[in-house]
Structure 1
Amino acid sequence: MAQPKRLPVDPIAEAKRQWLAHGWTDAAAGMTAVTSIMRAHQLMLARVDETLRPLGLTFARYELLTLLSFSRSGRMPMASASARLQVHPTSVTNTVDRLEASGLVRREPHPTDGRATLVVLTDAGRALSREATAALNAEVFEHPGLSADDTNELVRLLARMRRDAGDFDDPRPTPDPL
């Protein structure tokens, strides 16, 4: 991927300067945080897309294949996939449609719930998930652009932000055995 020309000034720092100059002092730090996270997301997604494109995958398709590969039987109800991936059921349906057309998953009726449909990983889907994971590990995940300590701190801060926004609950402590 061609590297874009570096800008002579950080546009987010300049936006913060403008926020402060316009008297929006109370919002300046938040605007800077939100804009920085969104730009970092763009940069990370570009790296992920560049890695997955040769394999014919998007990140959404990769996530679903990998989620299925982590399940014991390589199958789960589509509603469960939607919940675990934190996306709308329509998005899962569209992703499954594309993966199914490529022979990477198939749909099966749920054995006990006539209203539910299972999405099932095929052997080709499992193999592609493994290949894509190896590529992402080598090209993106092993070197995210931050030191290990900074990466851990970033994940900690973002997890707290997500939890506080209602994204998940902290796990309850398990009781001591009797």
Structure 2
Amino acid sequence: MANRPLPIDPLAEARRQWIAHGWTDAADGMAVVTSVMRAQQLLLARVDAALKPFRLTFARYEVLRLLAFSRAGSLPLSSVVARLQVHPTSLSSTADRLVRDGLVLREPHPHDGRAALLTLTPAGRELADTATRALNEQVFARPGISSHDASDLVSIVARLRKNAGDFADPRPTPDPL
């Protein structure tokens, strides 16, 4: 059953209530935070629906896609953690499932005995490519806003991320994969 649109925007009503209760200084910030969180829920639902036929979560897909982008199809776990900005424990759990499913190998690092490499298997590469085609067709090619709005939104969110300390200015150039 498809969701029917609500007759009013509950986030606009929440902002109105914030102002009515005397929290005017916080009303715009509350609207920003709740709007971004709701948009994330809506987009994640679309991503989850696109990935469901492949039995992938977005976290598992991100690891596969990152490894597929790398030159050798292999990266140290620490590099995957840094590039995906996830907690090492979360990545370890995700990697365990990918290894269990034969999509990734966990191998010893050739130069650092304490580190491990994640290496994409041929099945993992094929799945990453197939899932990427589905995401491109079902989600990324039509995110729900115009190209101009998408560009503006990405710039605005980048400023929010930068102000939160997510990356430095000037933006660092990542090392080649």
Alignment TM-score, normalising by the size of structure 1: 0.94
- The aligned runs of 1:20-99 (5 Å cut-off) are 20-99=19-98
Report Cα offsets for 1:104-148 as digits up to 9, x if no partner. 001100001010000110000000000000000000000000000
Say which SS state the counterpart of residue 106 (structure 1) adopts.
Answer: strand
- The amino acid that maps onto 2:44 is L
Stretches of structure 2 lacking an aligned partner (at least 5 in a row) = none
TM-fit CA distance, 1:160: 1.0
| Counterpart in the other structure of 1:135 | 134
Q: Distance in 1 between matches of 2:55 and 2:160?
A: 33
Q: Distance in 1 between matches of 2:9 and 2:171?
A: 42
Say which SS state the counterpart of residue 117 (structure 2) adopts.
Answer: strand
Say which SS state the counterpart of residue 57 (structure 1) adopts.
Answer: coil
Q: Which has the higher contact order (CA 8 A, sep 6+)?
A: 2
| Counterpart in the other structure of 1:162 | 161
Stretches of structure 1 lacking an aligned partner (at least 5 in a row) = none
TM-fit CA distance, 1:172: 6.5
Q: Distance in 1 between matches of 2:26 and 2:168?
A: 28
| Counterpart in the other structure of 1:13 | 12
Say which SS state the counterpart of residue 119 (structure 1) adopts.
Answer: strand
State, as a whole percentage, how many aligned pairs show the same letter: 62
Q: Distance in 2 between matches of 1:141 and 1:73?
A: 26
Q: Distance in 1 between matches of 2:150 and 2:120?
A: 32
Q: Distance in 2 between matches of 1:40 and 1:26?
A: 23
Residues 1:117 and 2:116 aligned together: yes
- The amino acid that maps onto 1:80 is S
